[in-house]
Structure 1
Amino acid sequence: MRFLESWSREHRGLGYAKPGHDRGLIDALADPVARDARSDSAHFTVTRRGRKSAFVARVLFSSIANVTTMVTTSFTAAELAAMKSAAMADLAGTKRWVSTNDALTAHLWKVLGALRARPDTSQERLGLLADFRSFVGGAVPDDYWGNTVTNTRPGMSAAELRSRPLGEVASAVRSGYAENTEEKIRQETAFLCAQYEAGRLKRVLPTMTLDKFENTIVINNWSKLPFYDLDFGQDTPFWYDVPALPTPWTVLLAPTPADRAGGRDVHMAVPRALARTLREPSWTDRFHAYADSAEAYPLTFGNG
């Protein structure tokens, strides 16, 4: 997105910050971390021989066989406000606060958890992606040219996810984001540096990624990215879409176009068999339980 913003400004004859390419800024995050803290990570797995190849093969098969279907819907600003109000009402008297995106993420987790219909005792995980630059005290500048992504994975049993009120689930989402601390980022960096030094880095995968076919729903929140401000000389976009995603249970939150400002477009990769279930009108009602019936956007389906 930083590249697209800069390219857009170049087209309009405006200035922009030149990106920094010093990889040493990332490696330096590991320096204060003790050597014995580099041997284990809660968020990365050093895969055994063949496991990474099996995972990649599964992803390729999913892509070729169209195992997933993209399902899209939109939430209006009024709907989101009602959702957040309901979540805050659940938390009344607790001194806890949740954002609009926390409430929406919790709502989507609950609805998709119901769709998955896993046994009550099954562990449900929510993979929350985050840009870690804001968590390391300015050690990595905003114009750094690189992928500075980390994740956390709050979880609860399937029965809890179905039964707990929206506010409590949203609070769990908020707590999940709060796990992104400077200490966590430094430890993760130290772990990856250690794997590089040991020649194992190519065998490392995020644990969240490995679990995407099993118990994890991944949320990637792009709702504050300026998709609709980009102008390459032919005016700004009227619609932003995403390509089909090969792995199931990936959810992208995007801003809505200017004529529907303040809402969220939600793109979901869902297994084809369950996508057929979503065609039942009752599931549109579940997704839009906080909407006035006149404003609820239907679910739309891509490939498959």
Structure 2
Amino acid sequence: MRVRLESSRIIKPLHEGIPPTTNHIPLSVFDKVTFDAHMAIIYAYHPPNPPNATLETGLRKALSVYREWAGRLSKDNDGEPIILLNDAGVRFVEASMDIELDQVMPLKPSAFCLSLHPSIQGNIQELVQVQITRFTCGSIVVGFTAHHTVADGQATSNFLVAWGQACRGLEIHPLPLHDRGIFKPRDPPCIEFEHRGVEFKNPKLEQFHPLLDEDVDGVAVDQFHFSLGFLAKLKAKASSRNGNDKSYSTFESLVAHLWKAVTKARGLSAYQTTSVRISVNGRMRMDPRIPNEYFGNLVLWALPTAKVKDLLREPVPYGAKLIHDTVANVNDNYFRSFIDFASHKVKEENLVPVVDMGQSVIECPNLDVSSWLRFPFYDLDLGGGSPYVFMPSYYPLEGTILLLPSFIGDGSIDAVIALFEDHLAAFKLICYELE
């Protein structure tokens, strides 16, 4: 199976009337602490599908509203990172395959996925890249890459929905909120929580553990489907100790189950400590609430932590409670404390972000969990209806778990999990066991 590249070019925003005069946007403290890397996602559509010219024009119209994507990362005169709003454009790639889409379905994260979107490795100037791959049956696969520094999952999914609206000749609605200057430190600052070791680290104190090539090569990725019935039983078990109190969410219950199962599959020492880094969207947690239309990054992390012996000995409600309580504590006070800390202490102490995809990622004995369950990725209608499949690309980053709604559309969940091969094999044997 070979993807044939037909063309690759830069396209620029299609402005109506006089182009905006704003020439740059400073990055917020949340942009500076997130992954400094391109991310890639993949959509698959059955026919009928609009021609590439329609997709290109729609993208250009959407870029006129979301100008950040057509800009470039740079620095101002003080050396502070900014997004240049110079309309330099995004990359638009046309490709094809001489087979029907069903011949590569079901599409799961694998090295083949890397051919369905432009490369995200190396010095890439464009902040967004799009590849349209057409199949002989009339189906298309849309590969989309975007730089995480510019926007998080919520903001990126909003842009994709806007692209679809533009392709269908609709007005883009709702419009994005572009002001990244709304996150101002308090005077005087009030740093109530410890942010060293959570969002920031001192590189001079970092303990480096060299990775062997065979360690990195030994990571495998697979996708697991958790049915609605399984999730209902799991949620009931996770909430069984709550009495009349509110039950844990499906997300909390599933993450607790996966945390315990992966820890068991890894065969960790009983007295090791294991934690889960969970992405927390600040839009619904800050007071006053930040609209979902905010365009940028607004994510911090919860770090529920346990001894391996406790996590494995206790039933799943133990992990669910740890997750629930730790995530609940990433509230408005925590976000405000982070803003104050990032604004006053990072430069003073020469700290750097903890998250780093520039190095080979080995999380063991920990996990890194991201949820795309509430993002409207399935709302990207380019003119022929909703996507048949939506998925991340191939990320062999050990210890990472990505949760996304199943394309079945019944509320079931797919989990994309990357582990060492022997750990993944052991996980497969126990991942559907309910205590």
TM-score, length-normalised on structure 2? 0.57
Aligned match for 2:400, one of 246, 250, 254 = 250
Residue number in structure 2 paired with 1:263: 412
Question: 1:118-197 maps to which residues of 2 (within 5 A)?
Answer: 118-138=268-288, 140-195=290-345, 197=347
Residue number in structure 2 paired with 1:295: none
Matched, 1:72 2:216: no
Aligned match for 2:251, one of 74, 77, 101 = 101
Residue number in structure 1 paired with 2:60: none
In the TM superposition, what is the alpha-carbon distance from 1:37 to its structure 2 partner? 6.1
Aligned match for 1:213, one of 363, 381, 394 = 363
Task: Identify if the C-alpha distance between structure 1 residues 128 and 62 changes in structure 2 by more than 3 Å, giving closer, same or farther.
Answer: farther
Letter in 1 for 2:387: P
- Residue 193 of structure 1 aligns to a residue in which SS? helix
Task: Identify if the C-alpha distance between structure 1 residues 273 and 189 changes in structure 2 by more than 3 Å, giving closer, same or farther.
Answer: same
Residue number in structure 1 paired with 2:202: 47
Aligned match for 2:175, one of 4, 18, 22 = 18
Q: Which has the larger radius of gyration?
A: 2
In the TM superposition, what is the alpha-carbon distance from 1:74 to its structure 2 partner? 0.3
Residue number in structure 1 paired with 2:160: 4
**How many residues in Structure 1 have an aligned counterpart in Structure 2?**
277
- Residue 177 of structure 2 aligns to a residue in which SS? coil
Question: Does the 8 Å CA contact 2:286/2:331 hold for their aligned counterparts?
Answer: yes
Question: Does the 8 Å CA contact 1:126/1:153 hold for their aligned counterparts?
Answer: yes
Matched, 1:224 2:370: no
Aligned match for 1:236, one of 386, 403, 408 = 386
Question: Does the 8 Å CA contact 2:263/2:365 hold for their aligned counterparts?
Answer: no
In the TM superposition, what is the alpha-carbon distance from 1:106 to its structure 2 partner? 0.7
Query: What is the alpha-carbon distance in structure 1 between the residues aligned to residue 211 and residue 421 of structure 2?
Result: 16
TM-score, length-normalised on structure 1? 0.79
In the TM superposition, what is the alpha-carbon distance from 1:136 to its structure 2 partner? 1.2
Gaps of 5+ in 1: 292-304
- Residue 398 of structure 2 aligns to a residue in which SS? coil
- Residue 224 of structure 2 aligns to a residue in which SS? strand
Letter in 2 for 1:45: F
Question: Does the 8 Å CA contact 1:62/1:246 hold for their aligned counterparts?
Answer: no
Root mean square deviation of aligned Cα? 3.3
Question: Does the 8 Å CA contact 1:45/1:205 hold for their aligned counterparts?
Answer: yes
Gaps of 5+ in 2: 1-156
- Residue 277 of structure 2 aligns to a residue in which SS? strand
Post-superposition Cα deviations, 1:148-186, rounded to whole Å, max 9, x if no partner, equal 110010111101111111122212111121011111111
Question: Does the 8 Å CA contact 1:38/1:194 hold for their aligned counterparts?
Answer: no
The structure where strand makes up a greater share of residues is 2
Question: Does the 8 Å CA contact 1:122/1:157 hold for their aligned counterparts?
Answer: yes
Letter in 2 for 1:141: P
Query: What is the alpha-carbon distance in structure 1 between the residues aligned to residue 191 and residue 297 of structure 2?
Result: 26
Identity %: 20
Letter in 2 for 1:261: D
